[in-house]
Amino acid sequence: MTSRPDLPVPLEALPNPRGGSVRLAEMALTDALHAFQRQGETGAALKRAIAALHSAGWLPAQRFAEALALVAPLGDESEGSHARIADAIAVFRGAVERHNLRELSCSTVLFDHYRGLHALLAMHTRVAPVSYDDLALAGRAIAPSTLRGIAPERLAHVRARYEEALLKLLRGPAEASADAFARLDACLDELRGPDPYDFWRLASSTVRALRERAERSGGELDHFADTKRLYARFNLVLADQAHALSYAPRSLVRATLALLWRDFALYGAASEDVAHVDVLRDYGLTVAWHVAATPASEAAWEAGAAQAGDEASRDAATRDLGVLRVNAAAYEDFLQSAETSIDSLVERGTQASETGTVDEAAALSAADASHRLGAAACALGLGHVALLADTLGLAWRRVAHHGETHADGAEGATRGIDATVPERAAQMLRSMLHQAAAGIAPSEGRVSIVALTAMIEKPALIAR
């Protein structure tokens, strides 16, 4: 992950010149901003934006637009409220025009505006507090995070050491932070179990990634603050584990996972980040591999992206898939790459459904095919396809990691799954791709996502 302090207008993520655009939403947000600045009616324009973003499957953006629609009528209460809402509309419109779905999910700038909108709304009605994962993980299934059984005496000893180091981190001088971090990390390593979904694996990866990001960015205070808050919240999980709870709190799992994904989604991952990316993939989240090593190369890339975007909008042929307008060349590339992935997914699903068993390596292969398809769909702007593919990939990873072993001891074989669920989801994905190939907007695939989510979020058997 890299930062770009030399850019004249710092952006959290680069524009996606080959990504699809939702022109109806862009025009509606422009109309809404102009109307709001004139203190006119914004409701109709924002409703058009919401409908277009929903149709495209840009769910985090849809959620942001819904918040704007709720808060916009409050803009005439004070000059400060009016300015805050106008700024939120303008920033959001700019993000939508960059066609980067990961930015729309993970932008901290957008989330700050989203939180500000809810603060205005909270002055008039009771609303639940918002958290970063409300946007970042909108519509996504979350695999349960396990807490393995540890002998009470050993756990008490680790917990005492953890609390001592945490107190040093939170109340001690800044120069003592490095030693406190090292002690806390040692405790997390001791707590971590072999399960890929062990909570302490996720926790350890997240705090390390945040610190690495802060160090690469010259010591960003926000990242260190996030890290300290997480260490403090992890102490509460230790209390749960001491009471023999088998799973970490879902809300904390979501918050931790969203923070781990944040910078990788916005800036990409480098070769040294592979361990963190493996954790994200086990939770169904993909990233782009990033090769630019310097701020200067980032600036050059952005200039090239802007030029390519201008040329694409001016010269290149386009295709309309419902509300989504895509670059014709990118569209053809996507269909060719998707064909191989979907054939593999359908084949794996059919085999699992027919035999009732699936090999662990086969399940991981199916997961990888799903992730490739999801990443390609995300880059093109096909939000519904991307979400279903990512969810299917997560389901196959859960099968690979938590499938039950055959009673006869057949190594690597798993059972105890409803294999018809991923099979039907793969068939649904194929249908959505056929729709896209025919120039039709892909359907939502909501039924398949609900079935996969139930499969993913079902707790696995844990031996304590």
Determine the Cα–Cα distance for residues 449 and 306; give it in Å rounded to an integer.
35
The predicted pLDDT at position 447 comes to: 95
Output 300 or 38, whichever has higher pLDDT: 38
| Residue 144 resides in a domain | no
- pLDDT value at residue 13: 72
Q: Do residues 331 and 425 share a domain?
A: yes
Radius of gyration of the chain (CA): 23
Same-domain pairing of 161 and 248 = yes
Question: What DSSP character marks residue 406?
Answer: P
Examine the domain organization and report whether 35 and 122 are in the same domain: yes
The distance in angstroms from the start CA to the end CA of the chain is 38
Q: Is residue 461 part of a domain?
A: no
Q: Would you state the pLDDT for residue 304?
A: 60
179: containing domain: 152-282
CATH assignment of the domain containing 416: 1.20.120.160
Whether 237 is in a domain gets the answer yes
In a domain, 226, yes or no: yes
Q: Is residue 71 part of a domain?
A: yes
Same domain, 446 and 322: yes
pLDDT at 312: 53
Are 116 and 162 found together in one domain? no
Q: What confidence score (pLDDT) does residue 405 get?
A: 33
Q: How many domains does the chain have?
A: 3
Is the per-residue pLDDT at 432 higher than 90? Answer: yes
Helices 23-37 and 59-71 pack at an angle, to 10 degrees, of 20
Tell whether 199 and 242 lie within a shared domain. yes
Contact criterion met (CB below 8 Å) for 265 and 16 = no
Residue 364 forms part of a structural domain: yes
DSSP per residue, 309-323: HHHHHHTS-EEEETT
> Within a domain: residue 308?
no
Per-residue model confidence as pLDDT tens digits over 150-190: 999 999 999 999 999 999 999 988 788 899 999 999 999 99
One domain for residues 161 and 261: yes
Task: Flag the least confident range among 12-26, 85-99, 250-264.
Answer: 12-26
- DSSP class per residue in 76-138: GS-HHHHHHHHHHHHHHHHHHHTT-HHHHHH-HHHHHHHHHHHHHHHTTS--PPP-THHHHTT
The pTM assigned to this predicted structure is 0.89
> Residue 382: pLDDT band by 50, 70, 90 thresholds?
very high
122 and 181 assigned to the same domain: no
Dig out the tokens for 65 from the structure.
């637009």
Residue 39 lies in a domain: yes
